[in-house]
Structure 1
Amino acid sequence: MLRCDPSAVDGRRVMPISKSRQSPFDTRNERGADRLLQIEAVYDKVPVGLCYLNRNGTFVTINDQLSRMLGVASERAVGQQVEDIVPDHAHLLRDSLKAALAGAPIPDQEIRRAEETFMVSAASVTNDLGETTGISVAYTNISNVKRIAHKLQETEQRTTYALESAGQWIWDLNIATMRVWRSPQYRILLGLDPNGADSESVAWDIVHPDDKARAIQAFEDAVSGRTPYFEAVYRVPRGNGGHAWILSRGKIVEYGPDGAPLRLLATSVDISMQKQIEEQLSTTVQLRLELEQKLLEANRKLKNQSERDHLTNLPNRRKFNHLLKREFVRATENADSLAILMIDIDHFKAYNDFYGHLAGDKCLVQVGRALNKVIKQSGGSIARFGGEEFAALLSGVTAEQASTTAMQMLGTVTAMQLEHSGSPTGVISVSIGMAVFGDENREAITGPDDVLNCADSALYQSKRNGRGRLSVWGDFAK
């Protein structure tokens, strides 16, 4: 599996991540690389040809299956435009890319290369901000399916021709004696000795024992008038061993003076090839369903990964915003309360500068775990909002209850006693800003972003007042 620079995954170069407080836009390079690695992990596990094209129509990654399908080395394809690698159908990929960028449906296309037929399916790929960064393209070899379908059509044509000509056998059943006469083609088509036994024998004597009851039932239905025609599928022995699948159709052609049926005239044709093709087609359909299930599972895993912060394993900002919108609607409809806590690690830039980024990452993980443990006990949820900042959400709580949880967070982080020489306190601490959406401000706050902005303002008030403390929106914004 080869890919180009992940910093160009969406077609644009991305600046390195800042050491100071970051927004989701500042971490696009890191998350873009993570997303690309996730895509590649899926690409390597599926038995179809897959590639990822960025917004400019450049191959960013291509799996080994597609390299073999296209007959081009991965290292040659990656970084090249589609016109340079697949000039015969580059316009189809360009059209798919245009549709993805326009937010339009992307239809499947069939292409023919050499003696093979491929189904080309594309889907848009978005980053954490919902921006389309390119398309993921799947090449499925449907040559066998096309060939099987073609063979099935040929078999049906041959069957029709046989029923209309002498290339089949005809049999005539005397209902009174239950003796049947078969035309000479019967022995030829089944590989029997043309000069063998007399062509007249007891009815149903050649039918496989497991199929005999079904054939006799079809005969009785036709004789009694329950069905207008006789039709049955059954097996008969071949001259060289094994069995042939036979389709027989016929009707009553003679009645006695009392109206009783006397003769059944029917034709039989070998449909063994058709049966084999049906079984192959059924197997192909089953394999396709299994593949689709695997792809759906892979998509579910990708979606879950796209909503998690790769470092702390907490929900990311995208997931938090989704939860906030949902809970704000619930609180509005039910006249309930909603508290937002914005939490920032104090003097974190100084910590990174003094101890290094690896220690900074470890610190983020430890603080995230401590905050998550507190918020879970209160029935809330927390996410890494960006950089050294976390955001917590508590539904259906009073301001006093939310403040208690916030103070527990302050105490828990301080109690960890994580050394921080760049902090006046000598240990890691956090500042918290809190905003509560409730009856007292329900008319003033019109959306979830208002609550978030209020909590963010309260956070900066905590920083201005010396850090390591809780500030509540409303206590100072009056």
Structure 2
Amino acid sequence: MPISKSRNAPFDRGDERGSDRLLQIEAVYDKVPVGLCYVNRQGFLVTVNDRFSRIFSTAENAVGRSVEDVVPDHASLLRAAISTALSDGSVSDAQIEVTGESFMVAAATVTNDLGEFAGISVAYTNITHLKDIAERLQQVELRTSYALESAGQWIWDLNIATMRVWRSPQYRALLGLDPAGHESESVAWDIVHPDDKERAIEAFEDVLSGRKARFEATYRVSRPDGGDIWILSRGKIVEYAPDGSPLRLLATSVDITAQKRVEAELSAMVQERMALEQKLLEANRKLRNQSERDHLTNLPNRRKFNHVLKRAFQRASETGEQLAVLMVDIDHFKAYNDFYGHLAGDKCLIQVGRALNKVAKQNGGSVARFGGEEFATLIPGRALQPSVEIAGAMLDAVVAMKLEHAASPQGAISVSIGMAMFDPQMGLKPQGPEELLNLADGALYQSKHRGRARLTIAGTSDS
């Protein structure tokens, strides 16, 4: 549409060059993808371009008509712009909707050759696409915000050059602060608990140096109410300088306080369970020890002796080494009990057991209280003669105690011993531990039958 010429038009020229210039401006005026019009100070349209005419269906033959007639829906906007311009004010941009599309309206003051206000030049730019993009972006940001909030997370962005960090509103909410507060940027690591700061900075330096591809750190953050929350942060370098040096670290943080609480409770439960198991082991060990010990002499009891004998016999059978079993009985012990009393009898049992055990241990053997006044001795790895010498040492050790026994022909406590051997080299091969024990018990009976206070070896006439 040709531009209407008036005496106030800024491009009114009288020469041929001016006419050419005017034609060029008219061509550009009509071809630009923006609706343009010029409204004089009285509110009448002086010029419009083709784009303006297509935007407003009422703009046909618009030149010379009032803004109320051509653009009734926003005529008041243009009148206000004229009033503002008349008072030398700055005309602000505005948005309008036309047939489902959005337009940005920008107005500029136009003066005549004398510098007087003549009207306003108005541009209508279609921003529908940009507005759609902005709305979609806002929806994405809103969804992201909801997702982060429901997950107890926030985003933070660290400017490595300034070591200033921006944190999202979720960060402030998580710390019990106003999410709308303006203090969203602060010094890096300022929120980290002092005891955890070194570890967090070390994780950051690992990423900064390239030792690790991603940043990951767990640390505490203090809340205004005095409590601490545990944070797990993960991120990576997202921007580098032309020389390859890192510029920005983008990361997310999540509240893992509940998880840490569960871990602490679980750890306490594990520790408690371990302590309980230790106590149970100790109790079982004590119980087992009690079940395998004679409560009076504190020597292994018959049950323990049978177990040890079984293992020793199996080992001797496999290796061919010698094994001696000695059955020991205190002579005339019933008479001792009757004469001196049971308390004295208990003391006698303890003293005899101690003497026998001392000799056995010195020679790699062991002694158990077999029952009543009987003791059993196990001597592994010794041939017949050394075993006989050990048995003799036991006889002597008891006599050396010089425990008075008025009811005994000897006048003192003595013991009788029966011994049986497992020695394949001598042809002494009992079929099992029970047979070896029975042979020793039989030899003990012979010692008592022959007058007591002596040793008898099973299968021989030696004593």
Same fold (TM over 0.5): yes
Distance 1:353 1:230, change over 3 A: same
Distance 1:178 1:412, change over 3 A: closer
Quick one: distance in 2 between partners of 1:377 and 1:179? 78
Equivalent position of 2:291 in the other structure: 306
User: Which one of 262, 282, 287 corresponds to residue 297 of structure 1?
Assistant: 282
Shift of 1:389: 0.9
Quick one: distance in 2 between partners of 1:353 and 1:301? 35
Equivalent position of 1:375 in the other structure: 360
Equivalent position of 1:455 in the other structure: 440
Equivalent position of 1:352 in the other structure: 337
Shift of 1:222: 5.8
Cα contact 1:163–1:267 (8 A) shared by 2: no
Higher mean displacement: 257-266 or 168-177:
257-266
Higher mean displacement: 463-472 or 451-460:
463-472
Shift of 1:184: 2.7
Cα contact 2:154–2:253 (8 A) shared by 1: yes
In structure 2, the residue corresponding to 1:397 is in which secondary structure? Answer: coil
Equivalent position of 1:8 in the other structure: none
Higher mean displacement: 336-345 or 346-355:
346-355
Amino acid at match of 1:390: F
Cα contact 2:422–2:429 (8 A) shared by 1: no
Shift of 1:240: 3.5
User: Which one of 421, 433, 440 corresponds to residue 436 of structure 1?
Assistant: 421
Residues 314-368 of structure 1: CA deviation (Å, up to 9, x unaligned)? 2222222233233333433443322222111223233333433223222222222
In structure 2, the residue corresponding to 1:468 is in which secondary structure? Answer: coil
- Is residue 325 of structure 1 aligned with residue 337 of structure 2? no
- Is residue 338 of structure 1 aligned with residue 323 of structure 2? yes
Quick one: distance in 1 between partners of 2:361 and 2:173? 80
In structure 1, the residue corresponding to 2:444 is in which secondary structure? Answer: helix
In structure 1, the residue corresponding to 2:267 is in which secondary structure? Answer: helix
Shift of 1:432: 1.6
Cα contact 2:423–2:429 (8 A) shared by 1: no
1:234-253 map, 5 Å: 234-241=219-226, 243-250=228-235
Quick one: distance in 2 between partners of 1:396 and 1:460? 25
Distance 1:194 1:299, change over 3 A: same
Higher mean displacement: 374-383 or 360-369:
374-383
Quick one: distance in 2 between partners of 1:417 and 1:210? 73
Aligned residue pairs, count = 317
Quick one: distance in 2 between partners of 1:418 and 1:451? 31
User: Which one of 326, 331, 348 corresponds to residue 363 of structure 1?
Assistant: 348
- Is residue 283 of structure 1 aligned with residue 268 of structure 2? yes
Quick one: distance in 2 between partners of 1:472 and 1:166? 85
In structure 2, the residue corresponding to 1:343 is in which secondary structure? Answer: strand
Higher mean displacement: 189-198 or 251-260:
251-260
Amino acid at match of 1:291: L
Cα contact 1:341–1:433 (8 A) shared by 2: yes
Cα contact 2:422–2:428 (8 A) shared by 1: no
Residues 187-228 of structure 1: CA deviation (Å, up to 9, x unaligned)? 233123456444234544444455455445545666787666
In structure 1, the residue corresponding to 2:356 is in which secondary structure? Answer: helix
In structure 1, the residue corresponding to 2:232 is in which secondary structure? Answer: strand
In structure 2, the residue corresponding to 1:313 is in which secondary structure? Answer: coil
Distance 1:383 1:222, change over 3 A: closer
Quick one: distance in 1 between partners of 2:389 and 2:188? 91
Quick one: distance in 1 between partners of 2:224 and 2:396? 90
Distance 1:249 1:164, change over 3 A: farther
Residues 441-461 of structure 1: CA deviation (Å, up to 9, x unaligned)? 546422222222111111111
Quick one: distance in 2 between partners of 1:407 and 1:201? 91
Distance 1:162 1:367, change over 3 A: farther
The Cα RMSD (Å) is 3.6
Cα contact 1:162–1:269 (8 A) shared by 2: no
1:117-128 map, 5 Å: none
In structure 2, the residue corresponding to 1:428 is in which secondary structure? Answer: coil
- Is residue 400 of structure 1 aligned with residue 385 of structure 2? yes
Distance 1:465 1:216, change over 3 A: closer
Equivalent position of 1:469 in the other structure: 454
Residues 20-54 of structure 1: CA deviation (Å, up to 9, x unaligned)? xxxxxxxxxxxxxxxxxxxxxxxxxxxxxxxxxxx
Higher mean displacement: 450-459 or 240-249:
240-249
1:23-42 map, 5 Å: none
Quick one: distance in 2 between partners of 1:253 and 1:373? 80
Cα contact 1:340–1:393 (8 A) shared by 2: yes
Equivalent position of 1:315 in the other structure: 300
Shift of 1:166: 7.6
Equivalent position of 1:96 in the other structure: none
User: Which one of 188, 197, 200 corresponds to residue 185 of structure 2?
Assistant: 200
- Tell me which of the two structures has the higher relative contact order, counting C-alpha pairs closer than 8 angstroms and 6 or more residues apart: 1
**TM-score, structure 2 as length reference:** 0.57
Distance 1:402 1:280, change over 3 A: same
Cα contact 1:433–1:457 (8 A) shared by 2: yes
Question: Unpaired runs of 5+ in structure 2?
Answer: 1-145
Distance 1:389 1:195, change over 3 A: same
